[in-house]
Structure formats: structure tokens, C-alpha cells
Amino acid sequence: MRLQISSRLKKYILIIFNINKVYRVLLFVFVSALLISQLALTLPAGRAVLTNTDNFEGIYKNGENQPSTLAEITLTLVDAQPCPDIEILQNGQPIAIFYEEKIKVTVSDNSVLEIDGRRVNKPFSVVVSDIPSNIDIENIANIAQVNSDISLIGRIFVK
């Protein structure tokens, strides 16, 4: 006993198989484009073509034709004992901890410097005691008062 399939049903089955082939090809093309774009974003030249977020994030670039611009400032802890609960943040990321009363911090160009004292119960201050001549600080607070919060020191521009 043979099952007979009508000619209309045969046409629908052929169309469905053709659509599946098209979907497979489109899936292959889009996945390939995604992988190539992700690979391009790992290279500085490709990232410069595909996106401009590096201009707005305040991270320093280190390349052959773009030397990194770094500088050191000195911060002094006042009214508190040095402890690992007091952190120095650059662009929201911890870069140093107050293990001593006076600490030198290396900062990059176009970055925001803050003091994180959220884990300290007593209020304290941090004094910017040494600023080299190659640093401009926008809205600088020479003394940052910290009361169990994050206090802004300022935005740093290295000449």
C-alpha cells in the first residue's frame, strides 16, 4: 500500500525545504558577521572604526602612535588610621588602598579620582598634598571630606 501525496502538498513541502535552506544561509551569514565584528573590536584599529566609546569613557590609550599619559599625585589621610577599607577609585575602579597615611597614586589622563569610605564608620578627610605641574584637575577638592560615602576629588587631565 503506497501513500499518494497530492501535487499541492508536494509543492508546499518543497517550499518549506527551500525556506529552511534560506534560514540556514542567513543564520550562517549573521553568525559570521557577528564573529568578525567581535574580532575587529579586539583590535584598536578596528575598534576605532566600529565605535567611538573610548573617547567618552576616560580610559587611557596605549599604542604606538598614542603614548599613555600618566602622572603621580600624593594623597594624605587625615583623622583616620590607614586601613584596607579606604580605597582610592579611578573611574569607579579601585586603584589603591590606604595602607599608609601618605600614598602616591598613578593616574591616567581624563579620569575621575574619588575616595571610597563606605566601609568606614567615622568621618575622615583626604588631602591632595602634592600635584605635579603636568596635571590639571577640574573642580579639585584640596580636602575631600568622607563620611561613609564616596567623595569626589576631581577630574584629572595630564598635559
Q: pLDDT tens digits, residue range 88-136?
A: 999 999 999 999 999 999 888 888 999 999 999 999 999 988 888 888 7
Phi, psi of 5 (to 5 degrees): -105, 135
pLDDT of residue 159: 77
pTM above 0.75, yes or no: no
Task: Give the count of beta carbons closer than 10 Å to the beta carbon of residue 108.
Answer: 19
Q: How far apart are CA 1 and CA 82, in angstroms?
A: 91
Q: Which helix (H) or strand (E) holds 14?
A: helix 7-41
> pLDDT-derived band of residue 68, with 50, 70 and 90 as boundaries?
low
First-to-final CA distance of the chain: 89
CA 89 → CA 2, 37, 104, distances in Å? 78, 32, 13
